[in-house]
Amino acid sequence: MPTYDYECTKCGHSFEAFHSMAAEPVAKCPECRGKVRRLIGTGAGILFKGSGFYQTDYRSTDYTKAATADKPKETTAKKDEKSASKKDAKKAQ
């Protein structure tokens, strides 16, 4: 049975709980009955890092899109380029 690490968001009490993955996760702190969050050991660090990278990627993609969208406004003759760069952006994603 896997071990789960929990940390109370109210009093900061951290504890381990054993239960199957199918079982209901622990939701209350045994000390103060406050709300707890589950820590996923080393995997959590990777997860958090991953979401951080994703956010950075998303932001830069968003910025690129905005920059690309601004350019064609300068001249209507570049309409074809606009649709072409849109396709490229989709491919990149």
Q: How far is the CB of 14 from Zn ion (least distance, A)?
A: 9
Tokens found for residue 42: 């080393």
The reply to whether 32 sits near Zn ion by the rule CB under 5 A is yes
- Which amino acid, residue 79? K
| Stretch of residues binding Zn ion (CB under 5 A), selected from 26-34, 51-59, 66-74, 75-83 | 26-34
Q: How far is the CB of 84 from Zn ion (least distance, A)?
A: 57
The DSSP annotation for 11-48 comes to T--EEEEE--TTSPPP-B-TTT--BEEEE-HHHHHHHH
Comparison of 34 and 72: residue with beta carbon closer to Zn ion: 34
Contact 39, 7 (CB under 8 A): yes
Binding site for Zn ion (CB under 5 A): 8, 10-11, 13, 29, 31-32, 34
